[in-house]
Amino acid sequence: MSIQAHLSELERKHDALETELAEAIAHPSTDDLKIADLKRRKLQVKDEISRIRLETPQAVH
């Protein structure tokens, strides 16, 4: 898998987590632990995207 393809996959995963998080927050019955887990996973993906972009100059946004 190329770096650009990997970045694209991570960006799709980040967007999916963002959508899932928004839906979870919109439903008051959602467990706070689930929301915290979604936020943590979303941040991990964002950190991975940032790390790849910093380490790979050709990995343009």
Three-class DSSP category at 1: coil
Write the CB contacts of 53 (distance below 8 Å, at least 6 apart in sequence): 7, 59, 61
pTM to 2 decimals?
0.85
- pLDDT tens for 38-61 read 999 999 999 999 999 999 877 555
Kindly list the domain boundaries of the chain, sorted by start residue.
3-55
* 46 and 14 Cβ atoms separated by less than 8 Å: yes
Segment 22-39, tens digit of pLDDT: 999 999 899 999 999 999
By CB neighbour count within 10 A (0-12 exposed, 13-18 middle, 19+ buried), where does 45 fall?
A: buried
| Contact present, 47 and 39 (Cβ < 8 Å) | no
